[in-house]
């Protein structure tokens, strides 16, 4: 997660430069990546997976940034890391009490296709199209942009694959009005489950690998109050904030 967060910092600087039409400086972008990494190290010890080493991860991060910077830059940027606090509604058009909080990595406009949200992921593997087409995260982004800008938006996943030979994968997905209403139905029913204290794991290949609650979630047997509290937080992170 530290690598992904640090790369996000570098990408945000790059996109902000493009948005204000100032020439991006590669060294500045890399410096923000390294500063974010060093800041994370001062906050808490970084847990490395088997086979991972600090120096190798830093090299991978720089290589992925360089690969992305070498590609044609995104055009007509509307927003970078913009927080959106928007209402949610169910499929019946009824508004929920709690709003949705979403922060999009990048939002740009194409003259032909309109608005597109780009979500950047750092992963040790390529994503499947089914993951992009079914994840609630994309639905949250599509809903937030439609509420904020009063027009639909596609969602594009740009996956920075940190394999031995770094690669960039792109997946695009769209959501219908029915999908947005279904999002509200899901949130509404999760709220009811939380009120009834009916907690259970939500296992998702898009999120589990980097989730800080993965181990207690895997150990959950439906008995421990501690596990229930952790899973309640996990539910809230999964649905209410993207």
The pLDDT tens digits of the residues spanning 128-164 come to 999 999 999 999 999 999 999 999 999 999 999 998 8
**Sheet harboring 167-173: ordered strands across?**
77-86, 100-110, 114-123, 153-161, 167-173
**208: which DSSP letter?**
G
From the list 203, 223, 224, the residue with the least C-alpha distance to 214 is 203
What pLDDT shows up at residue 230? Answer: 54
Identify which has the larger pLDDT, 28 or 206.
28
With contact defined as beta carbons under 8 Å apart, do 190 and 235 qualify? Answer: yes
What pLDDT shows up at residue 213? Answer: 80
What pLDDT shows up at residue 47? Answer: 82
pLDDT greater than 80 at residue 55? yes
What pLDDT shows up at residue 206? Answer: 62
3-state secondary structure of 113: coil
3-state secondary structure of 115: strand
The per-residue pLDDT for range 176-233, each reduced to its tens digit, is 999 999 999 999 999 998 899 887 777 776 667 667 788 888 888 775 555 455 555 5
Considering the entire predicted model, what is its pTM? Answer: 0.83
Banded model confidence at residue 237, pLDDT cuts 50, 70, 90 = low
What HEC string does 117-167 produce? Answer: EEEEEEECCCCCHHHHHHCHHHHHHHHHHHHHHCCCEEEEEEEEECCCCCE
The answer for residues whose C-beta is within 8 angstroms of residue 118's C-beta and 6 or more apart is 74, 104, 105, 106, 107, 108, 155, 156, 157, 158
With contact defined as beta carbons under 8 Å apart, do 49 and 75 qualify? Answer: no
Tokens standing for residue 77: 């940027």
Alpha helix segments (H runs only) across 22-135 = 26-43, 54-69, 129-134
Report d(CA 165, CA 197) in Å as an integer.
46
What pLDDT shows up at residue 134? Answer: 93
With contact defined as beta carbons under 8 Å apart, do 85 and 99 qualify? Answer: yes
Please give the biggest Cα pair distance in the chain: 56
Tokens standing for residue 91: 């499929």
Tokens standing for residue 85: 């606090």
Residue 183: CA count within 13 A, CB half-sphere: 28
Exposure string of 47-78, with b = 16+ CB inside 10 Å and e = fewer, is eeeeeeeeeebeebbbebbeebeeeeebeebb
The per-residue pLDDT for range 94-127, each reduced to its tens digit, is 999 999 999 999 999 998 889 999 999 999 899 9
Banded model confidence at residue 52, pLDDT cuts 50, 70, 90 = confident
């Amino acid at each position: 997660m530290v690598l992904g967060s640090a790369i996000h910092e570098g990408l945000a600087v790059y996109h902000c430069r493009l948005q204000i039409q100032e020439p991006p400086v590669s060294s500045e972008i890399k410096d923000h990546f390294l500063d974010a990494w060093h800041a994370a190290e001062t906050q808490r010890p970084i847990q490395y997976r088997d086979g991972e080493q600090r120096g190798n991860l830093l090299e991978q991060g720089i290589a992925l940034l360089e690969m992305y910077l070498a590609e044609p830059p995104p055009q007509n940027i509307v927003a970078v890391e913009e927080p959106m606090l928007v209402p949610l509604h169910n499929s019946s058009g009824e508004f929920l009490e709690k709003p949705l909080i979403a922060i999009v990595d990048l939002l740009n406009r194409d003259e032909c296709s309109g608005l597109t949200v780009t979500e950047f992921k750092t992963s040790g593997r390529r994503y499947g199209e089914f993951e992009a087409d079914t994840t609630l995260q994309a639905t949250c982004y599509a809903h937030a942009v439609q509420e904020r800008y009063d027009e639909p938006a596609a969602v594009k996943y740009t996956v920075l694959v940190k394999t031995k030979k770094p690669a960039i994968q792109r997946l695009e997905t769209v959501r219908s009005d029915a999908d947005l209403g279904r999002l509200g139905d899901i949130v509404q029913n999760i709220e009811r489950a939380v009120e009834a204290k009916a907690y259970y794991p939500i296992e998702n290949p898009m999120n589990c690998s980097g989730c800080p609650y993965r181990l207690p979630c895997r150990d959950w047997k439906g008995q421990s109050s501690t596990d229930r509290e952790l899973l309640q937080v996990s539910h809230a992170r999964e649905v209410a904030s993207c």
